[in-house]
């Protein structure tokens, strides 16, 4: 059995501690310091020579999290770690996955280049905004499926034959269809038109939801404009209840206020990003057990897909 060590960057320590506990170990000891000008310095306080080192850190803002991650990977490689595996519960910049207009960057590819350039041997992440981002890497990518956590919770609600799933936009149809197929349920689509990022011009529902319990499915919720507008529209179309599942709670700007004032019964998210404030309508499910099992399967060379529903 190889020597396994799990370390955490500053911003994801709350989750990394739960992952380490679920794996049956403690977080490794390291020091992350800052120079007077804000420059980051990292130091492993224990040997990692010959070890399989797992570094847990998401790349949500600020950009310092990415810089910290790169330094942690570089330090582990220079300290003769056998392998360095980046565990990135939330893959930042994933929405910038293509050129949708002239003269723009592809941020998801830039992030992939950065992770590989500093020496990472493998990446583990969850519910990417677009699955094809895996193709930006020339190293193995373990793309975990959050439905393994969300589906059992939905089953516990016992919604029965009244359950129907909804995609808040056309881009989320594949993700939503997978949930609907698992429950043997139907699905509808909320077709939206944007004038610019984070601003919706119009939206319409394709399908019938009258008298049904609707579950909106998305990979993330940012300003909550799309999810709350979709919920309102679904209620107008006769839905009995509307709740939402969104893996990554980015929740910026007016998100919390919008959710509190919305017709949503609840919005179920994961702990890939820490909440900035509490909300009676936001329920958090932990992905720590899922990541711990995935780490174990990587170490023992077992199937990752066996963790999927």
Q: Find the CATH number of the domain harbouring 65.
A: 3.40.50.2020
Annotated catalytic residue: which of 77, 192, 229, 281? 192
Domain count, the chain: 2
Q: Looking at the structure, do residues 171 and 200 belong to the same domain, yes or no?
A: yes
pLDDT value of residue 191: 82
Q: Looking at the structure, do residues 131 and 225 belong to the same domain, yes or no?
A: no
Q: Looking at the structure, do residues 176 and 278 belong to the same domain, yes or no?
A: yes
Per-residue pLDDT band for 203 (boundaries 50, 70, 90) equals confident
Share of the chain above pLDDT 90, in %: 89
Helix, strand, or coil here: 115?
Answer: helix
**Does the active-site annotation cover 281?**
no
Q: Looking at the structure, do residues 127 and 181 belong to the same domain, yes or no?
A: no
Q: Is the dihedral of CA 145, 287, 94, 299 positive or negative?
A: negative
Q: What is the number of residues in the chain?
A: 309
Per-residue pLDDT band for 224 (boundaries 50, 70, 90) equals very high
User: Which residues form the domain of 269?
Assistant: 147-285
pLDDT(300) > 60: yes
Q: Looking at the structure, do residues 78 and 206 belong to the same domain, yes or no?
A: no
pLDDT value of residue 294: 98
Q: Looking at the structure, do residues 131 and 177 belong to the same domain, yes or no?
A: no
pLDDT(94) > 90: yes
pLDDT value of residue 2: 84
CB 197 within 8 A of CB 222: no
Q: Looking at the structure, do residues 26 and 75 belong to the same domain, yes or no?
A: yes
Q: Looking at the structure, do residues 240 and 295 belong to the same domain, yes or no?
A: no
Q: pTM for this structure?
A: 0.93
Q: Looking at the structure, do residues 136 and 256 belong to the same domain, yes or no?
A: no
Q: Looking at the structure, do residues 82 and 199 belong to the same domain, yes or no?
A: no
Instruction: Report the C-alpha gap between 271 and 146 in whole angstroms.
Output: 11
pLDDT value of residue 100: 87
Q: Looking at the structure, do residues 152 and 133 belong to the same domain, yes or no?
A: no
pLDDT(193) > 80: no
């Amino acid at each position: 059995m190889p020597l396994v060590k799990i370390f955490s960057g500053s911003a994801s320590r709350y989750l990394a501690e739960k992952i380490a506990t679920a794996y049956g170990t403690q977080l490794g000891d390291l020091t992350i310091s800052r120079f007077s000008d804000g420059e980051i310095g990292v130091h492993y306080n224990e040997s990692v020579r010959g070890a399989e080192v797992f570094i847990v850190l998401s790349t949500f803002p600020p950009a310092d999290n990415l810089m910290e991650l790169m330094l942690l990977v570089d330090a582990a490689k220079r300290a003769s770690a056998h392998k360095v595996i980046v565990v990135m519960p939330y893959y930042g910049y994933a929405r910038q996955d293509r050129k949708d207009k002239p003269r723009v960057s592809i941020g998801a590819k830039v992030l992939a280049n950065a992770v590989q350039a500093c020496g990472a041997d493998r990446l583990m992440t969850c519910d990417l905004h677009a699955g094809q981002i895996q193709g930006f890497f020339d190293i193995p990518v373990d793309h975990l499926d959050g439905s393994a956590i969300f589906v059992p919770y939905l089953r516990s609600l016992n919604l029965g034959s009244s359950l129907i799933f909804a995609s808040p936009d056309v881009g989320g149809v594949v993700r939503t269809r997978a949930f609907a197929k698992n429950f043997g349920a139907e699905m509808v689509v909320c077709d939206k038109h944007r004038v610019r990022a984070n601003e919706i011009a119009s939206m319409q529902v394709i399908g019938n939801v009258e008298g049904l319990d609707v579950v909106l499915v998305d990979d993330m919720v940012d300003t909550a404009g799309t999810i709350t507008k979709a919920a309102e529209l679904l209620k107008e179309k006769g839905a009995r209840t509307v709740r939402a599942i969104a893996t990554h709670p980015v929740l910026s700007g007016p998100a919390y206020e919008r959710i509190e004032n919305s017709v949503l019964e609840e919005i179920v998210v994961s702990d890939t990003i820490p909440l900035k404030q509490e909300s009676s309508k936001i329920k958090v499910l932990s992905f720590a057990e899922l990541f711990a099992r995935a780490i174990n399967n990587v170490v023992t060379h077992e199937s990752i897909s066996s963790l999927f529903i």
